[in-house]
Amino acid sequence: MDYEGIIAKLEDMTNIAQKDQKIGSKVASWDLTIMYIFKCDDQVRYYVMKMDHGNLKTFREAWPEEKCDAVIETTPIALDEILEGTLGGREAFLSGILRFRKTPGLRVLIRLRSMFNRYKKLQMEESR
């Protein structure tokens, strides 16, 4: 998994969450900014997702950390494994593969978890 591939997957996950009957109305009310910092070979690449009450805007540049609700540092491969369920988030965090440079609050963690879980559940349903 490379940078472009994980960005496509993150955008797919967000679009699915916005359209989903179970969590779509909740996502529409969110005001949330997440910056991902990806270590890709010898490069550092950025991806910012800003959800502003149902409107998703994305940026491929670094933002000031104080403007973000969460800053997550990892590799595209590790995030893909977390999204696929082959690597647990807790395991990735404890091993240092996943770092929170700005620790999200409980509200942000719950929102991220609901998007990840819904995405995984829909993927499992599609593979049947």
Separation between Cα atoms, residue 117 and residue 13, nearest integer Å? 10
User: Residue 50, CB half-sphere, CA atoms under 13 Å: how many?
Assistant: 10
pTM of the entire structure? 0.85
Q: Which two tokens stand for residue 67?
A: 């403007």
| pLDDT tens per residue across all 128 residues of the chain | 999 999 999 988 888 887 877 777 777 788 889 999 999 888 999 999 998 887 888 999 999 999 999 999 999 999 999 888 899 888 999 999 999 988 778 888 887 888 888 888 877 787 77
- Phi then psi dihedrals of residue 98, to 5 deg: -120, 125
Q: Domain residues of the chain, as ranges? A: 3-116
| DSSP 3-state of 36 | strand
Q: Which CATH architecture has domain 3-116?
A: 2-Layer Sandwich (3.30)
Beta-sheet pairing, 55-59 with 70-74: unpaired
